[in-house]
A and B are shown apart, each in its own frame.
Chain A
Amino acid sequence: MHSSGVAGAFENWTVQARKGILEMAVLTALAGGERYGYELVKSLVAVPGLTVTEGTLYPLLSRLRQLGWIESRLVESSEGPARKYYTLTSDGRDALALMKTYFTGVTGALEQLQAAVPKTTNRKRKTS
Chain B
Amino acid sequence: MKWTEDAEAALDSYVESRHREEPEGFDRDEVRSDLRAHIEEELTGEGTEIVMSEAVGKILGVAEADVVKVATPEKTPLKLRPRLIWIFGIIAPLVVLLLEIFTGFCAGVFFDPLPSIWHVAAVGLVPISHWLLLRGFQGKGSRRAMRIAVFLQGVAVVIAVYYMLLFLPLLPFSVPAILAWGAGFLPIGVVGCGWIALRNCSLVKRSNRENIPAVQLRKRLLLGGAIAGLLGLAAIELPKILGQVGLNMAVSENDDTKAGGLSLLRSFQPEESLRRACYMPNRGWTGGKDTVGWIFSIGRRVSNDEAREVYYRVTGDSFNAHPAPSGGLSSWRSKSTAFDDVLFETRDGFDDDLGGDNVGVRIAGLTMGESRIDAHIDPVSALAYQEWTMVFRNASSRAREARMQVLLPPLGVVSRLTLWVDGEEREAAFSTVSRVKQAYQSIAVRERRDPVLVNVTGPDRIMVQCFPVPSKGEIKIRFGITAPLDRGAHPGRLHLPSLIERNFSLGSGLFHSLWVQSPDPLFSPLGRSAEGDIEADQRSCDGHHLRRRLNHKELQATTAYVDCPGASEPATKVACINPFAASGETAWLTRERISSRRAPVTALTIVVDGSSAIEPLRGQVIEALRAIPEPNEIEVLLATDTLIELGRPSRAANALRYKKFVGGFDSRPALAEALDRAARKRGAVVWLHGPHPVTLPGGESLAQFFDRSPRPVPLYAISLVPGPDRLLESLYRETAVHPGERFEEIAHDLPAFVARLGSGDQTTDYTYTEAASSSEDATPKVWDQLARYHGYEQVMESFYNGGSTTGTAELAANHQLVTPFSGAVVLETMEQFKRFGLDPADPSTVAVIPSVPEPSSALLIFLSAFAFMIRRRRSHSSI
Contact = CB atoms under 8 A, between A and B. Distances in A.
Interface residues of B, number: 24
A102 B62 CA distance: 32
Contacts of A1: none
A61 B33 CA distance: 13
Contacts of B37: 37-38, 81, 84
Contact of A55 (B25, B26, B60): B60
B34 A37 contact: yes
With most chain B CB atoms within 10 A of its CB, the pick from A37, A59, A80 is A59
A92 B386 CA distance: 110
A66 B28 CA distance: 12
B467 to A, nearest CB: 85
Given A62-B27, A62-B30, A55 B59 contact: yes
A15 interface: yes
Contacts of A11: 66
A61 to B, nearest CB: 7
Contacts of A59: 18, 22, 25-26, 31
Contact of A80 (B18, B41, B66): B41
B27 A66 contact: yes
A58 B31 contact: yes
Contacts of A61: 34
B582 interface: no
Interface string B380-420: 00000000000000000000000000000000000000000
A30 interface: no
A11 B44 CA distance: 34
B14 A55 contact: yes
B447 interface: no
Interface residues of A, number: 22
Nearest to B57: A55
A73 interface: no
Interface in A43-97: 53-56, 58-63, 65-66, 80-81, 84
Contact of A63 (B22, B44, B59, B66): B22
Interface in B19-61: 22, 25-27, 30-31, 34-35, 37-38, 40-42, 44, 59-61
B12 to A, nearest CB: 13
B644 interface: no
B68 interface: yes
Nearest to A39: B41
A38 B44 CA distance: 13
A120 interface: no
Contacts of A41: 38
Contact of B34 (A53, A58, A66): A58
A63 B25 contact: yes
A114 interface: no
A15 B66 contact: yes
A62 B26 contact: yes
Interface string A13-26: 01100000000000
B62 A55 contact: yes
A55 B35 contact: yes
A38 B38 contact: yes
A62 B22 CA distance: 12
With most chain B CB atoms within 10 A of its CB, the pick from A54, A58, A61 is A58
Nearest to B62: A55
Contacts of B66: 11-12, 14-15
Nearest to B15: A59
A55 B41 contact: no
A54 B62 CA distance: 10
B707 interface: no
With most chain B CB atoms within 10 A of its CB, the pick from A11, A41, A55 is A55
Contacts of B700: none
Contacts of B61: 53-56
B67 interface: yes
B839 to A, nearest CB: 106
B831 interface: no
B60 A54 contact: yes
A68 to B, nearest CB: 13
A41 B35 CA distance: 11
A53 B60 CA distance: 6
A122 to B, nearest CB: 30
Contacts of B60: 53-55
Interface in B400-442: none
A39 B59 CA distance: 14
Interface string B668-686: 0000000000000000000
B776 interface: no
Contacts of A38: 37-38, 41-42
Nearest to A82: B37
A38 B27 CA distance: 18
B210 to A, nearest CB: 14
Nearest to B67: A56
Interface in B349-374: none
B64 A55 contact: yes
A80 B26 contact: no
Contacts of B41: 38, 80
B35 A63 contact: no
A66 B26 contact: yes
Nearest to B68: A55
Contacts of A56: 61, 64, 67
With most chain B CB atoms within 10 A of its CB, the pick from A12, A14, A61 is A61
Given A14-B66, A53-B64, A58 B27 contact: no
A27 B31 CA distance: 18
A95 B706 CA distance: 110
Contacts of A58: 31, 34-35, 38
A69 to B, nearest CB: 13
A65 B25 CA distance: 10
A54 B55 CA distance: 13
A84 to B, nearest CB: 7
A81 B64 CA distance: 29
A95 B40 CA distance: 32
B200 to A, nearest CB: 33
Contacts of B31: 58-59, 62
Contacts of A81: 37, 40
Interface string B62-87: 10101110000000000000000000
A14 B35 CA distance: 24
B810 to A, nearest CB: 109
A50 B641 CA distance: 89
Contacts of B42: 38, 54
A83 to B, nearest CB: 8
A54 B67 CA distance: 12
A80 B45 CA distance: 12
A80 B22 CA distance: 31
A54 B35 contact: yes
B37 to A, nearest CB: 6
A55 B31 CA distance: 9
Nearest to A56: B67
Nearest to B30: A62
A60 B42 CA distance: 19
Given A15-B66, A66-B26, A55 B34 contact: no
A67 to B, nearest CB: 10
A86 B27 CA distance: 16
B68 to A, nearest CB: 7
Interface string A92-120: 00000000000000000000000000000
A63 B26 CA distance: 5
Contacts of B64: 53, 55-56
Nearest to B65: A11
Nearest to B32: A58
Interface string B293-323: 0000000000000000000000000000000
A15 B69 CA distance: 13
7 contacts: A38-B37, A53-B59, A55-B14, A55-B59, A56-B61, A58-B35, A59-B22
Given A14-B66, A37-B34, A81-B40, 4 more contacts: A55-B68, A56-B61, A62-B31, A84-B37
In the A-B complex, the 6 residue pairs with the closest CB atoms: A53-B61, A55-B60, A62-B26, A58-B34, A63-B26, A59-B26
